[in-house]
Amino acid sequence: MIQLKTPEEVDAIARGGAIIADFLVEVHPRIEPGISTLDLDRFADDFIRSHAGASPAFKGLYGFSGSVCTSLNEEVVHGIPKADRTLVDGDIISIDVGVKLDGWCSDSAWTFPVGEIDEDTQHLLEVTKDALDQAVSATVLESSVGDIGAAVVARVKGTGLSIIKDLVGHGVGREVHEEPQVPNIGQSGTGPALREGMVLAIEPMLSCGTAEIQTLSDRWTVVTRDGTRSAHFEHTVAVTPAGPRILTAVPAEAAA
C-alpha cells in the first residue's frame, strides 16, 4: 500500500534529507586517492550521529554492515565499506546514504570522481545526473510512476549508455523501502498515479556497457556483468501541488 504523507510529515523527512545534503558536501573533499571506503563509512557514521536524534538508516538494514554503501567503478550498488578497499586516481565511487530522524527515513546517492577521470567516465556521470534531474522534473501531479521512468529513457536514448533496468527506486517514509517501486524504464501514463503526499526515492543507474548485473559472493555488492563502469544518483522527492520537492537537495558544491 502506498502511504501518503502530510505536509508536516514531508517536512520531517526533509529534516533528515538536509543532514544527507550536508554530509555529501562534507564528504566530497575527503574522496581522494588513498582513503579507504571504511574510512568514508566511519566519517558518515560520525557525521550523521552528530545530529541529535539522527542515525544511519542503512546500518543493520537487512543485515548490512555499513552505515553507507560505497560502490566503486563497476559496482552498481550495495558496496560494503572495507579497510582494504582504497581509492585510486581515476576511480569513481557511489556513496548511497540513508538517515533516520524522528522515525522518518530519507535516502540519497551521489557518484563522485576520484582525481582525474577519463572522458567516457565523465560522460557517464553527466548523463546519469541529468537523467535524475529529468526524472525529478517529471514527478508532478496528474502524471504517473511510468512518466518518471520515461523521462530517464528519453534522456539516455542515443548516449551509448545503458539503463540498469533490474534495479528500481521506491517509496520512502517510516521505512527506507516502501511502495511503490519506481522503475528507471517506463512509459508515460502507466503505473500508479502520482498523488499529493507521495514520497519517492528516484535513482537512475546507468552503465557504460551492458544493462545486465550480478551479485557477488558477499551477497551484497551488485556489479555490471561485463565489468564496465556504473553511476548512480538519487534524491528523495515529495509530490506536491507546487511541483516536485527535493527533500535531499544537494548544494552545487557537491557536484563540482
Residue 69 counted as domain residue: yes
Residue 31 counted as domain residue: yes
- What is d(CA 95, CA 91) in angstroms, rounded to the nearest whole number? 13
Residue with cell 524504464: 185
pTM of the model: 0.96
Instruction: Please list the pLDDT of the chain residue by residue as tens digits (256 residues).
Output: 999 999 999 999 999 999 999 999 999 999 999 999 999 999 999 999 999 999 999 999 999 999 999 999 999 999 999 999 999 999 999 999 999 999 999 999 999 999 999 999 999 999 999 999 999 999 999 999 999 999 999 999 999 999 999 999 999 999 999 999 999 999 999 999 999 999 999 999 999 999 999 999 999 999 999 999 999 999 999 999 999 999 998 654 444 4
CATH number for the domain including 169? 3.90.230.10
Cα dihedral 122→128→129→130 (10° resolution): 100
Q: pLDDT (tens digit, 9 = 90+) per residue, 240-255?
A: 999 999 999 865 444 4
Residue 107 counted as domain residue: yes
Q: pLDDT (tens digit, 9 = 90+) per residue, 144-183?
A: 999 999 999 999 999 999 999 999 999 999 999 999 999 9
Query: Would you give the DSSP letter of residue 197?
Result: T
What residue type is assigned to position 202 of the chain?
A: I
The phi, psi pair for 111, rounded to 5°, reads -110, 125
Residue 182 counted as domain residue: yes
Residue 1 counted as domain residue: no
Q: What pairing do the DSSP bridges indicate for beta strands 162-163 and 205-207?
A: antiparallel
Task: Spell out where the chain has E strands.
Answer: 54-56, 68-72, 75-77, 92-101, 104-113, 162-163, 168-171, 178-183, 199-202, 205-207, 213-215, 222-224, 230-232, 235-240, 243-246
Number of domains in the chain: 1
Domain hosting residue 172, numbered range: 7-255
- The CA–CA distances, whole Å, from 17 to 36, 100, 110, 138 equal 25, 9, 13, 20
SS3 182: strand
Query: In this structure, what C-alpha cell is assigned to residue 40?
Result: 568514508
Residue 34 counted as domain residue: yes
Residue 245 counted as domain residue: yes
- What is d(CA 52, CA 44) in angstroms, rounded to the nearest whole number? 15
> CA neighbours within 13 Å on the CB side: how many for 227?
0
Burial class of 200 by CB neighbour count within 10 A (0 to 12, 13 to 18, 19+): buried
Residue 2 counted as domain residue: no
pLDDT of residue 253: 42
What is the maximal distance between C-alpha atoms in the chain? 49
- What is d(CA 14, CA 28) in angstroms, rounded to the nearest whole number? 21
Query: In this structure, what C-alpha cell is assigned to residue 16?
Result: 533528515
pLDDT of residue 252: 43
Residue with cell 563502469: 229
